[in-house]
Amino acid sequence: MPKHRPPGRSAGHTPPETGGPSASSARIAWFATLGARTERDRPARPISLPPPDHVQAVHGRGQVTIEWSPVQGAAGYLVHRGPAADGPFEPIDQGGGDVLAVPHGPYLDTTRPPRTKAWYAVSSLPTIEAEGGALSRPVAPRAGPSDAAVAIRVDASHFVGRVGRPWRPIIGSEHLALLLRGPGPGGRDVGAELAEAFRVVRRELGIEAVRAHAILADSLAVYHDSGDGPILDFSRVDDVLDRLLETGLRPIVELSFMPRDLANEPHATVFAYAAIISPPRDLERWAALVRDLVAHLADRYGRDEVRRWAFEVWNEPNLCVFWSGAESDYLRLYDASVRAVKSVDPGFRVGGPATAAAGWIDDLLQHCRADSLPLDFVSTHTYGLPPLDLRPVVARFGRPDLPLWWTEWGVSPRDGAPINDSAWAAPLVARGMRSAAGRVDALAYWVASDHFVEGGDAPTLFHGGFGLLTIGNLRKPRFWAIAMLERLGEDELACELDGDGAGSLVEAWASGDPDGRIAIAVWNGTLDQSKGAGVRALGRSVTLKVEGLRPGKYELRHHRVDARHSNIVRTWKRLGRPDWPDEAGWTRLRAADRLEALEPPRPVRADQGRLELEFPLPMPAMSLVELMPVGRRDDRVARP
């Protein structure tokens, strides 16, 4: 089997209590435990692919870049390293805690121990659950440039398509019952701050919808059975969705978890709020619950509105921590759910399997094809690396245009991981979004806010939470990464990179607008999570050449995220790392909550349509370089 790990966000049924330092350590350890796989009681479909050709490895300062020719039908590639040409070879683990495969090259290796020999080989994966394929011919790295310099050339007159924005369609959230909660961690108003977090990501990141996690859990008291039959109450669901819609976001309604009075195993639970992971004891009653819920939503909000939503069946059923049944039980649940939704309105969208680590996708596609069941989108989850390429997978089932939604994706699958709050996360997020653009319909960052209670309330302000925004809605470095990408223009521009780690360590995404504005995002980052504190040897000097510019004057604006810029943790540390700031501390933090400039804006002139800039780019770091034609009005959202 290809070596990969489940997301591991939660791997026990009841997390420890939170409170002091020891409780915080226990909370992190609980989240770090790897989840076991749900029983897969359907035979796997054997698929084999040849290994890639033309594998080459080039080493520079502090890194090795591996490239290969793509293989038709591959969902991803597993890069292996060994001490000699005859091995032994092992897949490279970047420490992301999830899938080890990548969707394409080039691949950056910064994990090789110093002064050790290494050979590289690559295998092709038709799907993440396929048997590991044959390895390519091993190669040893050849010497490449080692001057720690990267040259970037942008042609402002050469448009290559529209800029893809896979972060916009969906963002993740902890269960939306939190919108109805009052005081919480640090004395903050949870419901008000979560609603404001949704407004922030809508306004500043262009987000359109939020995944309505656990909408049927008992926290919203939807289903009761006193013995005389079920009693349904959707009033709290209405309260949640009303408050969500007020923020400008629409829901992607996740059909989970199981109401206690409908559960076959009511004591099988997960999380501090005891979400029930059991299949229903009566599948017909489950179908009736789903049908009645969807009919209620259609009546309350209107069919035209609900057609703009979607329904996702369950959450990570391929992990036994989230599903106590077998895979066949999930497929029956999908059958009942999709038929129930479509019975209300065939135009309502339904999909799944919402699995961890791209599991069961082939199985659901095969099941829907065999039983003529609707499947309006495929959804799955991954962390730590760019998402795999599922287009070849759906194409094998005659569905090449099926929408692909990664409804959970992020830096780490572990709440409490310090890497979550770091500047290191910014270039990883940029790399993932750039990789997904044009081949993925939605890459939903998990999650919007640190108001997140799977393991109990957050013990401190900066605790390695999943959120783009802290409790109190301070913007983390990875929030600014997406904000920078959101400031890209409408049209993608031709862009070439050359030098030490070009295209693997250092990447660029260039864009333009019809009025002549140019925006170029450049980042320096490694997938290797052991380098989260930064590595001096991976810093690069960047020369950015822009050609094909319109004549005239421009204002140069250069924003930066790194250890010293747009990094709110730095201000918190200067406050003495308080668990929860006092009012004076919050005032200082809010004053520092901005996207910072590397240098003040300044006028520049393109000489014969050309302009050249030089700047250092440490690892980790991300820059947004904007060339604004003088006299142009900029209406984009930008915090001072």
Residue with tokens 């270039």: 427
Q: Of the given ranges (5-9, 96-100, 547-551), which has the lowest mean pLDDT?
A: 5-9
- For CATH 3.20.20.80, the residue range(s) in the chain are 176-486
% of the chain beyond a pLDDT of 90: 88
Residue with tokens 């977090």: 197
* Alpha carbons within 13 A on the beta-carbon side of 69: 9
When pLDDT is cut at 50, 70 and 90, the band that residue 634 belongs to is low
- For CATH 2.60.40.1500, the residue range(s) in the chain are 149-163+488-629
**Which stretches within 560-611 are classed as H helix?**
568-574, 583-592
Which class in CATH covers the domain with range 149-163+488-629? Answer: mainly beta
CB burial readout 189-210, b (16+ within 10 A) else e: ebbebbbbbbebbbebbbbbbb
- For CATH 2.60.40.10, the residue range(s) in the chain are 56-143
Q: Tell me what the mean pLDDT of segment 519-544 comes to.
A: 97
pLDDT in tens, 101-112: 999 999 999 999
When pLDDT is cut at 50, 70 and 90, the band that residue 635 belongs to is low
What is the pTM for the complete model shown?
Answer: 0.94
Q: Please state, in angstroms and rounded to a whole number, the distance separating the CA atoms of residues 390 and 393.
A: 5
pLDDT in tens, 62-101: 999 999 999 999 999 999 999 999 999 999 999 999 999 9
CB count within 10 Å of CB 355 equals 31
What pLDDT sits at residue 38? 83
What tokens does 487 get?
Answer: 């400031």
Q: Which CATH architecture has domain 176-486?
A: Alpha-Beta Barrel (3.20)
DSSP conformational letter for 626: E
Query: 545 by DSSP, 3-state: which?
Result: strand
Fold of 56-143: Immunoglobulin-like (2.60.40)
- Residue 424, CA distances (Å) to 63, 529, 564 in order: 17, 8, 12
